[in-house]
A and B are shown apart, each in its own frame.
Chain A
């Protein structure tokens, strides 16, 4: 891997992603954990830019960091008084062994070419753009049905969340 802007960016975003993820699963203070989650999600958005999917990077920042992380922050604050649970972890050793074994299996799977050879990266000109995605989302041969179903799902989730979290006594 030669040293250029993409490989430097890859290293930086790897530090962001994995460092943030490590912070999420280890920090005692959940509010700090939310900040670490934002760092990790930002690193993932950087990967999307490296993989020439800038629209997904923008959606990642808007939806994940802008909406989901803020929602989690609210949940942390609303359940504040009991966030200081005595023990941070349960089932620590078996879970550690299980996730470590999973990691080793996955690493073995992705580094050994057991699924056949991997093609080199394609030139950026041959990759679909945001304009192509927008056209495909409303194309009847493309993704118009999943697109509409996603709208219904979001509406249902919004109504359901309001209904579940509503305070009946108020």
Chain B
């Protein structure tokens, strides 16, 4: 059996990759893709902890159901995020996040 820490290590690596991409990429679509990577790393963690937790003997579903809700929120986030990117592109001809600074204080 694969021990729990290996799943957590893979999730940590995937999350760090996502952080790196979200901080550095110049394209808003690429930033959104990096955010999806981070969400997936968190999902791996949630399912792994659910699978390995001792209390799941009495059929607790918290980790399982929470992962499903994270997936739902990720879908909503992707839809709205891409709509915003397309609207910004239509108005400014740019997908660079720094150039959409109209709300900057």
Contact = CB atoms under 8 A, between A and B. Distances in A.
A119 B54 contact: yes
A51 B47 contact: yes
Contact of A25 (B21, B78, B84): B21
A101 to B, nearest CB: 9
Nearest to B97: A90
A10 B1 CA distance: 10
Report whether over half of chain A's contact residues are helix, strand or loop; otherwise say mixed.
helix
B103 interface: no
By secondary structure, the B interface counts as helix
Interface of B: 1-10, 12-21, 23-27, 29-30, 32-34, 36-37, 40, 43-44, 47-48, 50-54, 56-57, 59-61, 64-65, 67-69, 71-80, 82-87, 89-90, 93-96, 98
Contact of A110 (B8, B93, B95): B8
Nearest to A103: B16
Interface string A51-84: 1110010011001100110011011101100110
Contact of A164 (B1, B29, B87): B87
A47 B19 contact: no
Contacts of A17: 10, 14, 40
A56 B64 contact: yes
A118 to B, nearest CB: 5
